[in-house]
Structure 1
Amino acid sequence: MSERLLGGRYELEQLLGQGGMAQVYRARDRVLDRPVAVKLLRPEYANDATFVARFQREARAAANLVHPNIVAVYDVGQDGNQHYIVMEYIAGRTLKEFIRERAPLPVDLALRIAEEVCTALEYAHRHGLIHRDIKPQNILLDEEGEVVKVADFGIAKSRLDPESTADRLALGTVKYISPEQARGVEVVPQSDLYSLGVVLYEMLTGRQPFDGETPVSIALQHIEAEPPPPRQINPYIPPAVEAILLRALAKNPRERYASAREMRQALERYRLAGLETTGPLPQAVAPPAIPAPPARPDQVPTRGTRPAPRVSPTPRAIPTRGTTLGPLGIALLILIGVGMVSLVLLLVRLLYPPRPLVTPTSVPTTAVPTWPTAPSPGIPVLLRDLTGLSAADARAILEQDGLLYVEGPPRCDPYIEPGHVVEQKPRYGTRLLAGQAVTVTLSAERTLARVPYVVQMSYEGARLTLLGACFRIERKELGCTSTPVGYVARQEPRAGVSEAQGITVTVYVSIGYQETILPELLRVPLADAQRRVEAAGLIWGYANPQTQADMPPGVDIDDQGAPGQVISYLVQYNGVRKTNGELPAGARVPCGAVVHVAYYALP
């Protein structure tokens, strides 16, 4: 297409998609030098003055929705007879494309996506906006498939009023509309939950609940027909998930969840209680049977009755002959016992003095210290720490101490080199007798392995999972996310890719949806700084070029950074303005705060 410029600012670059109401382009904001998405209203709607007025009013209301799961609206304008809206550009794909590639989705993934949509709806409903057009095409996933954003808030108001004709029903939308929308009556927040139920149905089964040759026939099914139970299509859907789904698809809005919050909580309760997949489930392995203790003669069950539960008997006093010891006798026995123990310890110390513990640095592989005398039989030996030693060093130390070296199955450890001791049993510090065996576990050779999926796990669960797969773990905090606090919202590298065992996997642990962590921006290239700001759930403001002429007296701009790098920034939120000197990287700031930067520009 030929180059077009809207409002003297937005340069249209590429057509991304089109629907019955509008076309969406990727564009470049020439003022802020950033990519944006521009939605152009079709001419047939542009000539409807009533619709245009509502479009502009609701678009401006949607611009006030600042939430990490909602595509941000930057601007609304008109260029001649062309009405447009400027939105955040998401480099990724729609949920519809994702479903086409991978449906049916795993239950935990489908529920996580639905939860994040619920979070967006909850926020919008609280601000008085009903989406009215929830469908997979309006749900966007980033390139990693981990961040969910809902688009077109307050824009796609249903046109299914009584005067609408059948040919004005958009087939792509009617498959997701609620019964009340199909009847042309007033929509309510539960209308969005019905549409989300259809989306969840499609994620788990690969199809919508209703289909037909015409939009009207589909709309009538939404009004009158019951959806086929999803477990008939995919029997691996858990019954509890099917119950959540069918409640969302109730014909009467009052029979659905009372709010998006209630539906989100229902999804979270199931997902956090126990995850299942939509694929065949592995057979459970029964635990080894534990033999019951032999019954006492006085507890033989009689025929026709069940054995009584085994209860630990209360210790009974043991009768003794003669008189019992008084307090003086008990004290005397204790003193005698303490004296004998002290005497034995003194003899052990004289006959076998303690030796210094051997560490990996004190025992080279080429020379292992020897002791002048071997431990005497029957004398306790203090087991030393072998962790991190090579197999040869560990064997030599145990032989010097008169203990037997036994090698167990190897286990990959991301922090200990292959062939070195990962674990020892018994643990170090245990006193053993000469001749007893010590089992050591060596670190196995590292290979390529798939990175486990740990998103939505608790940090401790993710840590254990990654360690079990022989990957190191690094924790970072992430805000502006609907993921529960303390749970993993994102991971790098992403799950499923093959990586060398021993590398570090970074997990981003949620701190909630109200705050985020201010990223490092100083001395960072401008484009990279913008990516960091937007990834943190913040809004990229203006970028102000600076040269030496703009510097205060005595300040050399070359000391602030290199050309093209950020040299200062200003964070603005809730009427507060803070500079980089007041708000360093790593500080917590509210989600949706605006970050303005100054960068080193060549004259």
Structure 2
Amino acid sequence: MNSGDLIDGRFRLRDRLGAGGMSVVWRAHDQVLGRDVAVKVLSPALARDTARLAHIRDEARAVARLRHPNIVEVYDYGEAGGLPYLVMEVAEGRTLAQLLTGGPLPWETAVVITAQVAAALAAAHERSVVHRDVKPANVVVSGARVKLLDFGISAVSGDDDHFAGHLLGTPAYLAPERLEHGVVRPATDVYALGLLLYRALAGRQPWAASTATEMVRAHRYQEPHGLPPVAGLPAEVARLCRRCLSKDPDQRPDAASAAATLAAAVSLDPAILALPGKAPARVPDRPARPAATVAISTAPHRRLLVLSGVAVLAAGSAAAVTLLPHSPTHVAQAAVPAAAPAPSLSLSVVVKKPECTVGFVVATADGRFTTKVNVANTGDVPIPAASLTFTLPAEQRLAAGAPGVWRQKGRTVTSRITDLAPGHDHTATVRGTSRGTSAPPRDFHLDGTTCRVALAVAQAAPAAAQSAPAAVPEPKDPPAPPAAEKKPKKTKPKDAD
């Protein structure tokens, strides 16, 4: 397939986003609904395997039922020219693997990102879907959300964990119990989540292993090194990391509990995690933080992360963290008279107000900027079509925006967005000129509602196109264990990551 090809008379291929051993991912335009999508076309060799094709169809149905703000949505499945394909949401932004190239992240940043990954896993596990390939390359910081990508090798909890003699996954993130023939278990995703958290905090894996064989041996036989000292890191986060990395899957927390613990460590708004019926656990030895707003500018050569009121300005591996408190929000309560002189009662009426959050990714290069803006309805009431306004830095001028019509007057940019039901969001792209700054926009409003900044990334170069992660089988020849320990079973390799 090539750029410009039309799939099923509907999806026009545009740019190749990445490729792996099992598929190629394209950015395409849906000519029916008028939106950009990601189209994942599976390999011809895979299409000829009828057993695997049926397995992939079943998995596509399972993943298509997942609805969570931290999971990339699957829209459709089809076959074109004998090749099966998936149509998915396009996840804009930078992968966690890219963010980690500068070393460990500030602990607040690492915790907020990992909390959202844990929330995505909790939603999948609730539907009995196990991801099986949780790793930094499959986590994208995108607009107001962190997105978990690529459920291409996901499976239903309780199914056989091996397929056609292969163990699918990435050697660096394989739970030890996966190295034996067993069933698919959600606890294996939690193990990978612990490795994700460890690497984000420490900048490395919890053991020295440079080859796939060494990684396999470490998962089975080596206890992970403790986290290095991290200033300000709550003890609960370090304990959670150790529990997630337990060799015994029954000793690991479930993904929802992990998400709640991580959220409590940074006082993350529960609405961001969308964990129905599960309030974040309180951290007993750490006072709760006040809510916060963000007003940040950054030099072009630095990286800015704003995560739920925690502003992180990073240059290389060094970082400064600042909290910007504001006055607390007051919630009106219905008032009932203490004593009623008559049989009737008088109740004050409480009208719920709209609530919204925004996130953005700002990229600047060669005197131009591109900003991906995401607006989410985090309240309980619908937001009708509204005017979105925000303020650009003085050094930036609007050139174009999409979708819709965009205008700039002074430093204020205005556009209209569609209706937003509770839990839904809207993403737009704004382009313009910049005089040497990657400062983010600010003062976001939907008509009369002020939107809270939940997550932002500003960078001095355009976001790199995400690669399509490949499903990777277990390496062929894991080394023999010590004489006193059980020898792991050999599995047939397919690929390496």
Q: Which has the higher helix share?
A: 1
User: CA 1:14–1:525 in 2, change beyond 3 Å: closer, same or farther?
Assistant: closer
Task: Give the 3 Å change call, closer, same or farther, for CA 86–531 of structure 1 in structure 2.
Answer: farther
Question: Does residue 246 in structure 1 map to residue 242 in structure 2?
Answer: yes
Shift of 1:93: 1.9
What are the residue-to-residue correspondences of 1:505-520 with 2, within 5 Å? 511=378, 517-520=383-386
Aligned position for 1:455:
308
The residue aligned with 2:149 is: 151
User: Could you tell me how far 1:531 is from its partner in structure 2?
Assistant: 6.5
Which of 201, 220, 224 aligns to 1:223? It is 220
Amino acid at match of 1:104: P
How far residue 254 of structure 1 moved from its aligned partner, in angstroms, is 0.7
Q: Could you say which residue in structure 1 is the equivalent of 2:119?
A: 119
Tell me if structure 2 keeps the 8 A contact 1:183–1:223.
no
Q: TM-score, normalised by structure 2?
A: 0.57
In the alignment, the residues of structure 1 paired with residue 125 and residue 448 of structure 2 have an alpha-carbon distance, to the nearest angstrom, of 32
Distance 1:217 1:243 in 2: 25
Which is higher, the Rg of structure 1 or of structure 2? 1
Partner residue in 2 for 1:538 = 424
The aligned residue for residue 269 of structure 1 is 264
Distance 1:263 1:12, change over 3 A: same
Amino acid across the alignment from 2:85: Y
Identity of aligned residues (%): 34
Question: 1:162–1:184: 8 Å Cα contact kept in structure 2?
Answer: no
Q: Which residue of 1 aligns with 2:491?
A: none
Q: Distance in 1 between matches of 2:387 and 2:121?
A: 32
User: 2:145–2:359: 8 Å Cα contact kept in structure 1?
Assistant: no
C-alpha spacing 1:48/1:521, structure 2 compared with 1 (3 Å): farther
User: For residues 19 and 493 of structure 1, do their structure 2 counterparts lie closer, same or farther at Cα, with a shift above 3 Å needed?
Assistant: closer
Count of residues in Structure 1 that have an aligned counterpart in Structure 2: 329
Could you say what secondary structure the match of 2:111 adopts?
helix
- Alignment of 1:66 with 2:67, yes or no, is yes
- Going from structure 1 to structure 2, the CA distance change for 1:222 and 1:162 (only over 3 Å counts) comes to farther
Alignment of 1:328-347 (within 5 A): none
Over aligned residue pairs, what C-alpha RMSD do you find?
Answer: 4.2
Residues 76-91 of structure 1: pairs in structure 2 closer than 5 A = 76-91=77-92
Aligned to 1:290: none
Give a deviation string over 1:187-211, Cα, whole Å, max 9, x none: 2111111111111111111222356
- Aligned partners of 1:133 and 1:59: how far apart in 2? 16
Q: 1:136 offset after TM fit, Å?
A: 1.4
Distance between the aligned counterparts of 2:52 and 2:95, measured in 1?
Answer: 27
Tell me, in whole angstroms, the C-alpha distance in 2 between the residues paired with 1:220 and 1:266: 30
Q: Secondary structure at the match of 1:229?
A: coil
Distance 1:53 1:452 in 2: 42
Q: Does structure 2 conserve the Cα–Cα contact (< 8 Å) formed by 1:454 and 1:491?
A: no
- Offset of 1:456 from its aligned partner? 4.2
Cα deviation digits, residues 386-435 of structure 1 (max 9, x gap): xxxxxxxxxxxxxxxxxxxxxxxxxxxxxxxxxxxxxxxxxxxxxxxxxx
**Matched residue type, 1:260:** A
Structure 2 CA distance for partners of 1:108 and 1:449, relative to 1, 3 Å: closer
Q: Secondary structure at the match of 1:250?
A: coil
Distance in structure 2 (CA, Å) of the matches to 1:104 and 1:191:
24
Please say if residues 198 and 227 of structure 2, whose CA atoms lie closer than 8 Å, have aligned partners that are also in contact.
yes
- How is 1:322-333 mapped onto 2 (pairs within 5 angstroms)? none
Whether the aligned pair in 1 keeps the contact of 2:70 and 2:146 (CA below 8 Å) is yes
Distance 1:235 1:47, change over 3 A: farther
One-letter code aligned to 1:49:
T
Counterparts in 2 of 1:5 and 1:26: CA distance versus 1, 3 Å: same
In structure 2, runs of 5+ residues without a counterpart are: 269-295, 311-322, 329-352, 363-372, 389-400, 406-414, 427-445, 450-497
Does 2:231 match 1:198? no
Q: Which runs of 5+ in 1 are unaligned?
A: 274-446, 466-475, 480-488, 495-505, 541-583, 588-603
TM-score after normalising by structure 1: 0.47
How many angstroms apart in 2 are the aligned matches of 1:89 and 1:535? 20
Q: How far did 1:161 drift?
A: 2.6
Matched, 1:33 2:29: no
Deviations 1:277-324 (A, max 9, x none): xxxxxxxxxxxxxxxxxxxxxxxxxxxxxxxxxxxxxxxxxxxxxxxx
Q: Deviations over 1:361-392 (max 9, x none)?
A: xxxxxxxxxxxxxxxxxxxxxxxxxxxxxxxx
Quote how far apart the aligned CAs of 1:122 are. 1.5
**Displacement after TM superposition at 1:183 (Å):** 2.4
Q: Who is 1:438 aligned against?
A: none
AA matched with 2:136: P
Q: What displacement does 1:492 show?
A: 7.9
Secondary structure of 1:91's match? coil
The structure where strand makes up a greater share of residues is 2
**SS, match of residue 386 in structure 2:** coil
| d(CA) in 2 for partners of 1:452, 1:209 | 25
Q: Distance in 2 between matches of 1:509 and 1:264?
A: 20
